[in-house]
Amino acid sequence: MWRCYRGGLLLERLLGEAAPADGDRPEAWLASTTRAINGPHSQGPDEGLSRVRGERCEPGPLLADVLPGGAHPGVLCKLLDTAMRLPIQCHPDRAMARAHFDSEHGKSEVWLVLGTREIDGRAPHLLLGFGSGATREDFGEAVQRQDVAAMQAMLHRVPVAAGDAFLVPGRLPHAIGPGVLMLEVQEPTDWVVQPERMVGEVELADSDMWGPLAPEVALDVFDFEARGGVEAVLGRTRLRWEEARREEGGAVERLVGSWGEVRFTIERVTVLRTLELPPAIGNRMAVVLQARGGVLEHRGRALELRPGDSLVLPDGVGPLRLRAREAPLVVVLAAAV
C-alpha cells in the first residue's frame, strides 16, 4: 500500500520477502473492505481493498464484493513499518465524522507494537497527546509557519518496545516515530487531518492535509481540551495483555484498558501444540503474526497459515483448531464491540 512515508523493511521481513527493504509501500491492509484515500497519489481505483485468495494463492474477487454486509467485523487491520516519523495527525471521533465526513465511523485505533529498530541513532518512539501548555492558537500558528519542530514540541514523546499496546481515540493528536513495526486495529475508514506540508520528500496537497475540510475546521478535529502530563495521556491510552486461558497446547490473552466510546475485542492466541477455539460470538478478524508450519483446521479441512494471512471469521463459525507444527503459532483475533 502506497503511503506518504517510507518504511516496510521489517514488514517485508515478517512477510518472508526475499529481499526486504524500505520503500513507499510501508503498509499491508488485511481483509479490507475500506478504500484508501491517497488523493493525487492514488495507485488505482481499488487501492486498499483486499482480494480473496484462491486455493492456489491466486488473487480472486474483491472481498467487498463477496462478503455479506453484516458479516464484516467492523474493523480495519493493518501491518505497518516506519523508517521515518509519520506526519503529526489526528482522526475524527464519531461525532466529528458524522458532522464533517458524512460517516458513521470515526477512526479510533489500537496499536500493537510487534518489533522495533533504531534508525539514524534514534530510538523507536511515538508522539502522543498534547502537553498541558499546548493551545489551539499556538498550534495553529505553528501550522501556518510550518514550524514542525514547534508542533512536535507540543506532543509527548513516548518510547516503545515490542509487546506495547496503545489505544489512540479519535481527536487525540499523534505520530508514529521511526523504527516501529505494528499491527493496527482501527475503525474502517481512512479519515485523517495531517497539517505538515512536507513528509520527507513528498509534498502533500491540501486534500492530503485537510481531507474534505477547510483548514480552520480541520484544526477542530484536534482535541485541545484533553491536554495533560505524559502520565495522564498514558493512563488514557496504554493497554495491557491479560491472560484469559492457558492449557498445555497454548494460551489466549485479552487486551484490557480504559476504553473510550469505541471498544475493540482483541485477543492474542499463542499456540505451542494444538489449541481449539470455541465457535465465534460475533464476526471477527484473524491475523497471523507468526507461523512456521501453522495450520487452521475446520470441518475436516486444513488451511496452511503464513505470517500476514488474514481471515474473516463469521458469527458462529467453529470450533476451529489451530495447530503449530513448529511453535509458536501466533494469531490475533479482533472485532469492534
Q: Are residues 293 and 230 in the same domain?
A: no
Contact 287, 183 (CB under 8 A): yes
Across residues 218-246, what is the average pLDDT? 96
Cα–Cα nearest to 312, from 68, 27, 61? 68
Q: Which of 89-93, 126-130, 175-179, 313-317 has the lowest mean pLDDT?
A: 313-317
- The listed range with the strongest mean pLDDT (60-74, 77-91, 278-292) is 77-91
Calpha distance 124→65 (Å, rounded): 39
- Quote the domain boundaries for residue 230: 9-238
Q: Is residue 149 part of a domain?
A: yes
Q: Are residues 324 and 264 in the same domain?
A: yes
Residue 254: its pLDDT value, please? 98
pLDDT band of residue 62 (cuts 50, 70, 90) is very high
Is the backbone of residue 61 left (phi > 0), alpha (psi -120 to 50) or beta? beta
pLDDT band of residue 57 (cuts 50, 70, 90) is confident
Q: Are residues 164 and 218 in the same domain?
A: yes
Residue 70: its pLDDT value, please? 77
Q: Is residue 219 part of a domain?
A: yes
Across residues 320-337, what is the average pLDDT? 96
Calpha distance 168→26 (Å, rounded): 20
Q: What is the pLDDT of residues 185-211, one digit of tens each?
A: 999 999 999 999 999 999 999 999 999
Q: Is residue 4 part of a domain?
A: no
Q: Which of 68-72, 106-110, 321-325 has the lowest mean pLDDT?
A: 68-72
Q: Are residues 246 and 230 in the same domain?
A: no
Residue 72: its pLDDT value, please? 84
The amino acid occupying position 51 is R
Q: Are residues 183 and 274 in the same domain?
A: no
pLDDT band of residue 71 (cuts 50, 70, 90) is confident
Residues 6+ away with beta carbon under 8 Å from 276: 249, 319, 320, 321, 322
Q: Is residue 187 part of a domain?
A: yes
Average confidence score pLDDT of the chain: 95
Look at the chain and report how many structural domains it folds into: 2
Q: Are residues 255 and 184 in the same domain?
A: no
DSSP classification of residue 23:
B
Residue 53: its pLDDT value, please? 84
CATH of the domain at 150: 2.60.120.10
Residue 94: its pLDDT value, please? 97
Give the residue from 221, 238, 255 where a domain finishes. 238
Q: What is the pLDDT of residues 33-55, one digit of tens each?
A: 999 999 888 989 999 999 998 77
Residue 121: its pLDDT value, please? 93
Residue 32 has pLDDT above 90, yes or no: yes
Residue 280: its pLDDT value, please? 84
Q: Are residues 135 and 214 in the same domain?
A: yes
